[in-house]
Structure 1
């Protein structure tokens, strides 16, 4: 009886905590809102290995806002730093690392497809 009550109390506390903060913690990725999008320190004239979608957040299910064409030179923002996001297989490699950048539109692109 005592352990049953404790389990119910812990589950209730977890639900209340989630309701109050409005967030659920997930391992491995940061929320798109917390990822830096600083293009003041950027690498320029960086070509794409293949044509890739430029996305609103670092995951393959995010909305595509444009494309970065194969061989087209663009910008990699955040001083060329890659960030963890959703897993993908692109340009012959598997990864979960993404760059923020693009050639015409700026957004999240798979790191494996950018020549830097």
Structure 2
């Protein structure tokens, strides 16, 4: 009798297990969809960040190039500033050529510009 009761309980147990399995499968499918959606969001955010990093790297490269160009020009600018300062102090063409290592034509032009400015 006990064995007969257990055998009769098996179909109910099978139904409960089947219902539990179905419920678990539905939960897994829901979670899978949820995480799949999140994965897509993360992928999109990752692509956006990658793009932004690329843009910043490009801008940094441009700034670095501009900085290097500026540094290359600075020594020359310093010479002209010094030559102009010498002109202000009353130096003649020969002094400017010797002190600033400028070609005669540039020294003469600088003096001419200075003289026109003070008139």
Larger Rg: 2
TM > 0.5 between the two? no
Q: Could you say which TM-score interval applies, normalised by the shorter chain? A: under 0.3
**TM-score under structure 2 normalisation?**
0.22
**TM-score under structure 1 normalisation?**
0.23
Q: Which has the higher strand share?
A: 1
Q: Which has the higher helix share?
A: 2
